[in-house]
């Protein structure tokens, strides 16, 4: 059996990736923050779905700032592949906490790469980068050759990790890949993200709630895909013959307004009665990805369409509320 180490296994991507890896016959080791070690980890419950998955997920408490702890987890898990998904993931929080963001997003990536190099083992490494690294773009869509001009601490920290992946690949011969990931959602998306907030609001409105949802802008546009599709791209990168960096994106953008309209329509309501935007957005080039390299070299393409994704998220929130009733 192959062995994989997934940092940030308790998150959305950690769940879908662990599910994929178990289905491929892997043993999975995952890291969770020390302070959150007693909280539910969706990926840890996957063993209950299939008898053959029992005992194949092991959790390791780890603070990303702990160099010695990082080395110990790598030693204990003995991975063939490392999927580095952990870090501070919100742009707004990075502005408020730039030092923390740099420590657990930028430096944590370097620590992992350096420990892999020191181990001398042929470990394959995936780094979860972000489309935010492109910053304020001049043209759309973007691909792997588009210049990167990060505009916030989160994006700068991700770009540092992206650059270190390239450095360790070229200078030390590591099989290291960076995924330039556009927005990808699911029913497990964190509650700090607008997509999850809108799905929750639609389900609550269906149940009779009338409190309005105030968002910064309804005109902002994003390239939204399904997390379950994207983790397939992570895995394919590490199965390739040679390492490279890849954009993963749908190539289409939708506005927050479109998301809200679809979400509330799913429960038979008009979003305009529940959602308001506070600020207009100036038109300009959008963050929209061109995933041609992933399609040609990895055979990767997103399968879940926008409407299907929104419906999936709203339906999940409705089920949660129904279970509580």
* Pick from 218, 225, 197, 229: nearest CA to 261: 218
The CA distances from residue 255 to 142, 178, 252, in Å, are 18, 27, 10
Instruction: Fill in the DSSP letter of residue 288.
Output: -
Instruction: Give the 3-state secondary structure of residue 120.
Output: coil
Instruction: Give the 3-state secondary structure of residue 292.
Output: helix
Catalytic residues: 130, 132, 154
* Pick from 302, 31, 18: nearest CA to 185: 302
What is the spatial distance between Cα 248 and Cα 291, in angstroms, rounded to a whole number?
5
- 127 forms beta bridges with 84, 178
* Pick from 159, 150, 157, 181: nearest CA to 101: 157
The CA distances from residue 270 to 1, 45, 145, 205, 221, in Å, are 51, 37, 41, 10, 20
């Amino acid at each position: 059996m192959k062995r994989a180490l997934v940092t940030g296994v308790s998150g959305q991507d950690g769940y879908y990736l662990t599910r994929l890896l178990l289905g491929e016959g892997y043993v999975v080791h995952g890291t969770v923050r020390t302070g959150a070690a007693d909280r539910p980890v969706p990926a840890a419950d996957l063993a209950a779905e299939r008898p053959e998955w029992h005992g194949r997920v092991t959790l390791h408490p780890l603070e990303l700032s702990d160099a010695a702890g990082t080395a110990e987890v790598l030693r204990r898990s003995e991975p063939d592949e490392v999927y580095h998904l952990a870090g501070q993931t919100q742009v707004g929080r990075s502005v408020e906490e730039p030092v923390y963001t740099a420590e657990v997003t930028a430096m944590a990536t370097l620590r992992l790469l350096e420990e892999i190099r020191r181990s001398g083992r042929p470990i394959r490494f995936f780094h979860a980068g972000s489309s935010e690294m492109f910053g304020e773009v001049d043209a759309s869509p973007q691909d792997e050759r588009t210049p990167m001009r990060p505009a916030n601490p989160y994006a700068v920290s991700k770009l540092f990790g992206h650059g270190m992946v390239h450095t360790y690949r070229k200078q030390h011969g590591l099989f290291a890949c960076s995924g330039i990931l556009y927005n990808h959602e699911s029913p497990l998306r964190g509650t700090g993200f607008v997509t999850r907030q809108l799905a929750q609001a639609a389900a609550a409105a269906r149940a009779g709630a009338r409190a309005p949802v105030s968002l910064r802008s309804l005109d902002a546009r994003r390239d939204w895909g399904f997390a379950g599709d994207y983790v397939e791209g992570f895995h394919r990168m590490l199965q390739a013959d040679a390492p490279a960096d890849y954009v993963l994106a749908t190539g289409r953008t939708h506005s927050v307004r479109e998301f809200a309209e679809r979400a509330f329509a799913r429960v038979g309501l008009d979003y305009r009665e529940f959602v308001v935007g506070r600020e207009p957005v100036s038109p300009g080039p959008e963050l929209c990805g061109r995933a041609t390299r992933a399609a040609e070299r990895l055979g990767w393409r997103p399968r879940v369409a926008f409407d299907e994704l929104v419906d999936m998220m709203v339906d999940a929130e409705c089920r949660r509320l129904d279970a509580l009733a």
